[in-house]
Amino acid sequence: MRFAAILDGTIGTAPQQARALGDFLREGLIGDLVGETLVVYHDERDKQRLVELSPTRDVRLIKTPARRPDRMVEILTAVARGEGIPLFLFAGGSAGTELATRLACRTNGAVLTDALSIEVGPERLLCRKNVYSNHMVGRFELSARPRCVTIDACWKDGRSPTSLEHHVLSDTDETGGIGTTPFEDLELVDPPSTGDLAESRFLVVAGYGAGNREGVERIAEAARRMGASFGVSRPVAMNAWAAMDRLIGVSGTRTAPALCIVVGASGAPALHWGIEKAAFIVAIDLDERAPIVRNADAAVLDDGVVIVEELAEIIAAEVSR
Amino acid sequence: MCFKVTPDFEALREADWVAGAAHGVETRYVRRILNCFDESALEMALRLSDTLAGRGVTVGLGALSVGGREAEPYLKTLHALGYERAARVHSEASLDFAPAVIAALIAGYVRRVDHSDLVMLGCRSGPGDSGTVPFLVAETLGWPCLTQVIEVEPLPDDRVRVACMVDDGILRVTLRLPCVLAVGNAVVSHLRVPTLTDRLARRNKRIDVFRAADLGVDIAAELRRETCVLAGLEGIHRARQGVIIGGATPREKARVLFDSHLKSMIEKL
Amino acid sequence: MHLSREAIVEGVQRIVGPEDVITDEEVLRESSHDRFRLYEDVHGVYTQPIPAAVAMARSTQQVAEVLTFANEHGINVVPRTGRTATEGGLETAVADSIVLDGSAMNQIIEIDTYNMQATCQCGVPLQVLEDRLREQGCTTGHSPQSKPVAQMGGLVATRSIGQFSTLYGGIEDMVVGLEAVFPDGTVTRIKNVPRRAAGPDIRHVIIGNEGALCYITEVTVKLFPYLPQNNVFLGYTLESMKTGFEILREVMVNGYRPSVARVYDPADAAFHFSHFAEEDQCVLLFMAEGPAGIAKATAEGIEAIVARHQECRKVDSEFIATWFNDLNWGPDKIAQEREEIRQTSNICRTTEISSDWGCINEIYENALRRVVNEIPDITMAGGHSSHSYINGTNMYFVYFYNVVDCEPEEEATKYHTPINRIICEETLLLGGSIVHHHGLGKARTPWVKDEYGSSYYILETLKRAFDPNGIMNKGTIIPK
C-alpha cells in the first residue's frame, strides 16, 4: 500500500514531526507499505533542511503560503483525488489534526488521530489508539480511502532519524490563487516557560527520607551532575529543605519524564500523581514496603543519598567517555 | 456552546476496564461530570457575554448537548447562569465513537434552530478523544475553525481576537465571525456557580429536546456510513516490575542499576 | 515569663535539634491555620498569628521536653499530625505559638493478630496502617474520608469517625490503650486491656481532647477481620428525608448493624447520584459486611424493612459499589478543589450534628429553611445522615456559597459562622449535639457552654487540672 507522510515545514516543529514520523514508519507501521514524504514549505531557504529531515527516501516539495492550513487542505485534497493515495500520515498536534480531519471530509475518507500503530492487511486497515482517558487502547478499522491519520505524541522522542539518501521527485509552487484568509493580524509568541520540571526528560525527586536539608542538597547536587532536573516531595518543601517551586505532585508540578529516580520518598498518592506518567521509575528507599517500590520499574533498597551519589559518579564518567 | 457530559473515568475501578468489548466499556454505574474543556468553553462564553454587556452589547448564549437526561442538570444550571437557550439532542444509539454524527447534529442544530455565528466547544472529549468534532462541524458549516483556544476577546465588527496554543508556540489571531472555536487548556477552567435564587428565578425555562430528524440527521444511516469503527478494546498494563536491584555495596547496586536499566535510556536523553 | 520568638526557637532547638525546627516563613504561615480557613488559604491570606516555630518531635521524650519548656514559659502549643482538621483546631490563636508536629513519629510498633491489636506512634498515617493490616487479612474498620492523609494521633485527639462506623463504631470504640504527655511533662501510659472497671474510663480524658489537655504519642487500636469479599451494597431512591430517617431508625432498632447506612436529601443526592436519582429524590444506601452469613442476613433484613415503605425504589447495587470506590479525599481531589475555589469563589462547607430519632428530621428541616432564607449567595444547601445508632443519628449539613464582595478574611464572618450559628441553634433547641465528629476546634466553641449545660463544670475542671497555665492549644474546646 502506498502512503504519503506530510512534513509541514510552514510551522516551527518540522524536526519533531520528522523524528516522530520516522520512528512511526519504522516501528508503528505494520504491513507492506511504501511511501513518500510531501514536504510543505513556504520559505526557499528551508527546502534543503526539510528534505534532509524527511523520513522517507522519496520526497516531493510543495510550496505554499505560510500558515494557511485552508490552502494546504485544498492542495492535499487535489493530491489525494488526483493520485488515489490511500493513506496520509501526519504528525500529531493541532496542525495535523486539522489537516487530517478536513482532508478526510473533503475526500470522503476516514480520519483517526493519535494513532499508536497502523496495521495494514489485505482486507483491512486497523489503527490502535488510547481511549477512555488513557485507560484502554482501542482498535479501529478505517474503511474509507484515503485514511488520514495523525500519530500519537509518544513517538516524539525516539531515536534520531537515520540518514537517508533523499530523492526529490518534484517541487511545485502552489502559492498562487490563494484567496483570502479568514485570519488577520497573526502574532506568534513562544509559550511561557513552565520551568525545567514540567518539560524535564530526566528527573530526580527527593523525599522525606533524605533526612535533613543537607541530605536533600546532596541529592540535588547529584541530580545536577547527572544532568537531571530536581524536584521534591511535599514534606521536603514544607520542612523548608528545598524551595517550594521544586514541589512535584498534586500541589506542585506534574511531570512526564523518560526517567524518574525517586529518592527517599514513600510514593504517597500526592507525589505519585506528579510522576506517574514517567516512562521508567526507579525507587531508592530503605523501606521495602513503601508504595513507591511496587510502583517503580526498578528499586534499590538502600540509603538514597549514598546510592544517588554513586549513580551520579557512574553517569558522569560514562558521559565524559 | 456545545458540551458533553461524560462518565467520570477516573472513578471507575481497575476491574471495570474490561478488554475485548467492541461496544465499549461499561460506564453506566459511575457518576457523570462535565468534560473539562467544555467546562472552560462554557465559562469563557459567559465571560465574553459579560465583557460585551459591559460595552452595551447584549449577546444571547445557547447551550447544546448531545445526550440523554444526564445532560439536564447541567442545562438547568446553565439556564440559571443566564444562558437563554438550553437544548439537548436525543439519541438512542451510543455515539461514543462517532464524531462524524456528533458533528452533523451540532451543525444541523446551528443551521436549522440556533443560527448562532459563534460555536464554542471543548477541543476533545472522552471516551474517543479524537479532537475532530470541531473541524468536522467547521467543514459542514463552511466556517473557519481554531483549536486549542485559550483566550477569546470580542472585537468590533463581528470579530474576535483569539489566542490558541499551536504546535510551535502561542498564536494570537483576529478572526471574523462566523467561526468555530475549540477550547483547550485555558486558564479559565471552572464554570461559575448559580445561587439558589438564580435557579429559582429560571426554574421554568424550557429545555428543548430535539430528535436527530428535527436537525436533518439520520443517525442510523450516518452510523452505517461511519468510516472509523471501534473493532475492540485492549487493556493497558501499567503494573510496574518493581525489580529489586541486588548488590553487596551501594556502589555495586548503583552499577547494576545503571548497566541493567539506565544506560541506554540515558544515552537517548 | 514571656519569651521572645528567638528565645522560643532556641529553646526548642535545644530539645529537638536545629534540623527539626522550622522557621521558614512560608511554612510558618501555612502552619497557622487549617481547613476552616480554606478560603483564606487559597487566596494566600493568613490572618492568624504566625507561630514562632514548627518543631518536629521524634520521640515521646522530646514531646515531654517541649511541653515542659512551653509550660514553664507560658507558650501556646498546637499539637498536630496529619493536618486534616476542619474546625480551626490547628489555628495558632495566640502569637508566637509552637506547633508541635508528630508526623515524624511514624513507626508501626506492633501488629498482633492473635490479640487483634495494633500499636503505632502518633504520626502513622491511617492509610499506611490500614494497607499493612489488609496484607494480613485485618482492618482497623476506621475509614474517615481523610484516611489517605490523616494520622493516628490526630484521629484519636478529635474523636474521629469513619464511613463504616455503624458496624465498627467511632475511634472511641476502637482505641485500646494510649500514651499521652501532659503539659507538665508527665508521660502517662494506659495499658491495653479489653475492658476494666477500675474507676472511670480515663481514656476518655484523652480521646477527643483536641490537643487542649495533652499530646497523644502512641495509640493501640483493635483489629477486625478484613472480609471485603462478603460486602453487600443496597441502594434506593425515595421521596422524603422523613421516610429516610424512619427507615434508618427501623434498621437500627431491629438490631441490624450494616457498616454503612446513609440517607441523602435531594440537594446532596444531586451531587453524588444524578446518574440514577431524579432531581427531587432522596437516596438511601447501605453496605453490609463481615462474615458471609451475617452480611447476607443483614442485607436481607434491611431489604425487608425498606420493602415496607412503598415510596422506595431499588437501584442496581453496582451504582452504590462504584460510588463507594471513589469516596475518599485524596491529595488530588484536595488540589483540584483549591483551583476550583480560586476560580469560582464558590466554596463547600459542612456542619455535622447529632440528635435522637424524634428530633432529627425537625432539626434538618428547620436549620435548612433558615440557612436558605437568612444567608446570601447560597448555591447549594442540603445534607445526609451517615452515622446511626440505636438511639439516634447524625445529620451532615453540606452547603456551598459564592463569596461575593467579600475579602478572604471576611468570608467566615459573612457566611460560615452565621451558618454554623443557625445549625447549632436549631440543634440545641431540640436537645441535639452541635458537633457529631469534626470536633469543636475553635469554630464551634461559641456554643460549647450551651452544648454542655451544667456538665461544663466537668470539662472546665479537666482543663484547669491538666493545663493550669493554659498552654495547650488555646481557644480549642474551651473558648479563649
Residue spans per domain, chain A: 2-173, 195-320
Pair B133, B106: CB distance under 8 Å: yes
- In the chain, the amino acid numbered A4 is A
SS3 letters across chain A? CEEEEEEECCCCCHHHHHHHHHHHHHHCEECCCEEEEEEEECCHHHHHHHHHHCCCCEEEEEECCCCCHHHHHHHHHHHHHHHCCCEEEEECCHHHHHHHHHHHHHHCCEEEEEEEEEEECCCCEEEEEEECCCCEEEEEEECCCCEEEEECHHHCCCCCCCCCCCEEEEEEECCCCCCCCCEEEEEEECCCCCHHHHHCCEEEEECHHHCCHHHHHHHHHHHHHHCCEEEECHHHHHCCCCCHHHEECCCCECCCCCEEEEECCCCCHHHHHHHCCCCEEEEECCCCCCHHHHCCCEEECCCHHHHHHHHHHHHHHHHHC
| Residues of chain A contacting residue C132, judged by C-beta atoms under 8 Å apart | 289
Please name the residues between 245 and 264 in chain B that touch chain A, using a CB distance below 8 Å: 245, 247, 250-251, 253-255, 257-258, 260-263
Taking CA–CA distances from C267, the nearest residue in chain B reads: B196
Give me the residues paired with residue A229 across strands.
Answer: A203
Interface membership of C332 toward A (CB under 8 Å): yes
CATH of the domain at C161: 3.30.465.10
Task: Tell me: do B123 and B73 sit in the same domain.
Answer: yes
Q: Are residues B73 and B181 in the same domain?
A: yes
Given A212, A213, A270, which is nearest C331 (Cβ)? A270
ipTM of this predicted structure? 0.90
Please tell me whether residues B212 and B248 are part of one structural domain: no
Q: Which residue range is the domain that position B250 belongs to?
A: 240-269
Pair (B146, B70) in one structural domain:
yes
Contact indicator for A292, A233 with CB cutoff of 8 Å:
no
Q: Closest Cα partner for B242 from A266, A298, A278?
A: A298
Confidence (pLDDT) at A159: 54
What integer pLDDT is reported at residue B93 of this predicted model?
86
Residue B179 φ then ψ, to 5°: -155, 170
pLDDT at B46: 96
Q: How confident is the model at residue A135 (pLDDT cuts 50, 70, 90)?
A: confident
Domain match, C272 and C290 both: yes
CB contact set of B39 (below 8 Å; sequence gap of 6+): B3, B122, B189, B190, B191
Is C78 or A123 the better-scoring residue by pLDDT?
C78
- Cell representation of residue A252: 506542585
Alpha carbon A32 to its chain centroid, in Å, reads 26
For C339, nearest residue in chain A (alpha carbons): A251
Copy the grid coordinates of residue C154.
Answer: 490526630
- Does A240 contact C22 at a Cβ distance shorter than 8 Å? yes
B254 and B211 fall within a common domain: no
Which of A139, A299, A318 has the CB atom closest to B245's CB atom?
A299
| Per-residue confidence band for A241, with pLDDT thresholds at 50, 70 and 90 | confident
Residue B187, domain member (yes or no): yes
Confidence of residue A99 (pLDDT cuts 50, 70, 90): very high
Residue numbers of chain B with a pLDDT score lower than 70: 20-22, 236-239
- pLDDT value for A155: 60
CA atoms of C122 and C342, how far apart (whole Å): 33
What integer pLDDT is reported at residue C57 of this predicted model?
A: 97
Q: pLDDT band for position A161 (50/70/90)?
A: low
Assess whether C99 and C47 both reside in one domain.
yes
User: Are domains A2-173 and A195-320 of this chain identical in fold?
Assistant: yes
Quick one: closest CA in C to B16, which residue?
C322
Q: Are residues C98 and C126 in the same domain?
A: no
Q: Say which of C26, C27, C335 has its CB closest to residue A251.
A: C335
Put simply, the answer to whether C316 touches B10 (Cβ < 8 Å) is no
CATH number of the domain residue C266 falls in: 3.30.70.3450
C253 plus C221 within the same structural domain: no
What CA–CA distance (Å, rounded) separates C304 from C284?
14
Residues of B in contact with C340 (CB under 8 A): 190
Chains that touch A (3 or more CB pairs under 8 A): B, C
Nearest to A238 among C27, C131, C331 (CB): C27
Q: Which residues contact A181 (CB under 8 A, 6 or more apart)?
A: A68, A70
Supply the pLDDT for residue B121: 96
Query: Chain A to chain C, count of Cβ pairs less than 8 Å apart?
Result: 37
First to last CA, chain B: 43
Question: Does C400 touch chain B if contact means CB atoms closer than 8 Å?
Answer: yes
Q: Looking at the structure, do residues C270 and C319 belong to the same domain, yes or no?
A: yes
- Does residue C220 sit in the same domain as residue C254? no
Report the CATH superfamily, name and number, of domain A2-173: HUPs (3.40.50.620)
Q: Is the pLDDT of residue A196 over 80?
A: no
Verify that B207 and B252 share a domain, yes or no: no
CB–CB contact C339 B10 (8 Å): no
pLDDT digits (tens, 9 = 90+) for B62-77: 999 998 999 999 999 9
Interface test with C, best of B31, B36, B43 (most C CBs within 10 A): B31
Does residue C384 lie in a domain region? no
C223: closest CA among C123, C112, C122?
C112
The CATH H-level (homologous superfamily) assignment of domain A195-320 is TPP-binding domain (3.40.50.1220)
Instruction: Count CB pairs under 8 A between chains A and B.
Output: 234
B234 occurs within a structural domain: no
Phi-psi region of A195 (alpha: psi -120 to 50; beta: other; left: phi over 0): left
Within 13 Å of residue B145, how many CA atoms lie on the same side as its CB? 30
Residues of B with Cβ-Cβ distance to A138 under 8 angstroms: 97, 128, 230, 232-234
Which chain C positions have a beta carbon within 8 Å of A249's beta carbon? 331
> Three-state SS for C443?
coil
Are A97 and B135 spatial neighbours (Cβ–Cβ below 8 Å)?
A: yes
DSSP state of C2: P
Mutate to test the interface with A, among B168, B179, B241, B259 (most CBs of A within 10 A): B168
Find which of B17, B145, B269 to mutate to test the A interface (most A CBs within 10 Å of its CB). B269
Are B136 and B119 spatial neighbours (Cβ–Cβ below 8 Å)?
no
pLDDT of the residue at A191: 61
> How far off is chain B from A301, nearest CA to CA, in Å?
7
CB contact under 8 A, B232 and A13: no
Question: How many domains in chain B?
Answer: 2
Domain contains B58: yes
Cβ neighbour number for residue A184 with a 10 Å cutoff:
12
pTM (predicted TM-score): 0.89
C28 shares a domain with C132: no
Residues C220 and C232 in one domain: no
Same-domain pairing of B254 and B152 = no
Cis amide bond preceding A161, omega within 30: no
Indicate which CATH number applies to the domain containing C13: 3.30.43.10
Distance CA A232, CA A234 (A): 7
> What would the grid cell of residue B51 be?
465583557
Cα torsion C262, C268, C272, C273: sign: positive
B172: contact with A, CB 8 A cutoff: yes
Instruction: Give residue-wise pLDDT tens across range A270-285.
Output: 688 788 888 899 999 9
- Is residue B129 in some structural domain? yes
Are C331 and A289 in contact (CB < 8 Å)? no
Tens-digit pLDDT profile for residues C375-386:
999 999 999 999
Nearest beta carbon to residue C343 from set B28, B188, B196: B188
The Cα–Cα gap between A234 and A246 comes to 9
Per the listing, cell 484515503 goes with A146
Residues of the domain holding C314: 228-325
Contact (CB<8Å) B169/A142 = no
Overall size of chain B counted in residues: 269
Q: Are residues C189 and C200 in the same domain?
A: yes
Place of cell 451540532: B106
Angstroms from C19 CA to nearest CA on chain A: 7
Domain boundary among C179, C210, C225: C225
Tell me how many helices (H) and strands (E) chain C has.
19, 19
CA distance B135 to chain C (A): 29
Q: Which residues of chain C are within 8 Å of residue B73 when distances are taken between CB atoms?
A: 270, 274, 279
B/C interface, count of CB pairs below 8 Å: 62
Confidence check: pLDDT of A292 > 70: yes
CATH classification of the domain holding B184: 3.40.50.620
Contact C279 B13 (CB under 8 A): no
Give the model's confidence band at A192: pLDDT under 50 very low, under 70 low, under 90 confident, else very high. Answer: low
Q: What is the mean pLDDT of residues A115-142?
A: 89
Counting every residue written for chain A, the total comes to: 321
Same domain, B158 and B259: no
Q: What is the pLDDT along chain C (480 residues), one digit of tens a residue?
A: 589 999 999 999 999 999 999 999 988 998 999 999 999 998 989 999 999 999 999 999 999 999 999 999 999 999 999 999 999 999 999 999 999 999 999 999 999 999 999 999 999 999 999 999 999 999 999 999 888 889 999 999 999 999 999 999 999 999 999 999 999 999 999 999 999 999 999 999 999 999 999 999 999 999 999 999 999 999 999 999 999 999 999 999 999 999 999 999 999 999 999 999 999 999 999 999 999 999 999 999 999 999 999 999 999 999 999 998 888 776 557 767 888 999 999 999 999 999 999 999 999 999 999 999 999 999 999 999 999 999 999 999 999 999 999 999 999 999 999 999 999 999 999 999 999 999 999 999 999 999 999 999 999 999 999 999 999 999 999 998
C348 touches B: beta carbon within 8 Å: no
> Cβ–Cβ of B240/A281 closer than 8 Å?
yes
User: Are residues C219 and C260 located together in one domain of the fold?
Assistant: no
Say yes or no to pLDDT of A158 above 60. Answer: no
β-pairing, C378-385 vs C392-402, is: antiparallel
Q: Which residue has the cell 472585537?
A: B155
| Residue of A135, A217, A238, A247 to mutate, interface with C, max C Cβ within 10 Å | A238
* In a domain? residue B230: no
**Residues belonging to chain B with any Cβ–Cβ distance to chain C shorter than 8 Å:** 8, 10-13, 16, 28-32, 70, 73, 188-196
Nearest CA in chain B to C343: B190
Element (H, E) at B234: strand B228-235
Domain count, chain C: 3
Show residues of chain B in contact with A256, CB under 8 Å: none
Residues B29 and C322 sit within 8 Å (Cβ to Cβ): yes
- Say whether both C26 and C89 belong to one domain: yes
Instruction: Render the burial of A26-37: b for 16+ CB within 10 Å, e for the rest.
Output: eebbeeeeebbb
Query: A interface mutation test: which of B9, B36, B135 has the most A CBs within 10 A?
Result: B135
Residues B120 and B203 in one domain: yes
The pLDDT value recorded for residue A194 is 44
Q: What is the pLDDT of residues B203-237, one digit of tens each?
A: 999 999 999 999 999 999 999 999 999 999 988 66
- pLDDT tens string A244-266: 778 887 656 778 899 999 999 98
Residue C280 sits at the chain B interface (C-beta within 8 Å) = no
**Beta-carbon separation of C26 and A269 below 8 A:** no
Give yes or no for a cis peptide into C446 (omega within 30° of 0).
no
Measured between beta carbons, the chain A residues lying within 8 angstroms of C125 are: 268
Q: Does a structural domain hold residue C477?
A: no
The burial of A290, by beta-carbon neighbours within 10 Å (0-12 exposed, 13-18 middle, 19 or more buried), is given as buried
Q: Which chains touch C (3 or more CB pairs under 8 A)?
A: A, B
Residues B146, B99 within the same domain: yes
Q: Same domain for B259 and B220? A: no
Taking CA atoms, what residue in A is nearest to B104? Answer: A105
Phi-psi region of A270 (alpha: psi -120 to 50; beta: other; left: phi over 0): alpha
How far apart, in whole angstroms, are the C-alpha atoms of residue C269 and residue C383? 8
Asked if the Cβ–Cβ distance from C330 to A270 is below 8 Å, we say yes
> Measured at the alpha carbon of residue C370, what is the angle toward residues C366 and C374, in degrees to the nearest 5?
175
> Which residue has cell 473493532?
B231
**Cβ within 8 Å, pair A239-C331:** no
For residue A255, what is its C-alpha cell?
511531570
**∠ Cα C210 C211 C213 (to 5°):** 105
* C372 to chain B, closest Cα gap in Å: 8
> From residue C174, how far is each of C210, C225, C231 by CA, in Å?
17, 14, 21
Structural domain includes residue B105: yes
Sign, CA torsion B21/B24/B28/B30 = positive
B178 touches chain A (CB under 8 A): no
Residues C234 and C203 grouped into a single domain: no
**Which candidate from C103, C132, C330 shows the least CB-CB separation from A269?**
C330
Same-domain check for residues B118 and B251 = no
Beta strand C224-225 with C313-315 is: unpaired
Locate B109 and state its grid cell.
442544530
CA nearest C424: which of C348, C355, C478?
Answer: C355
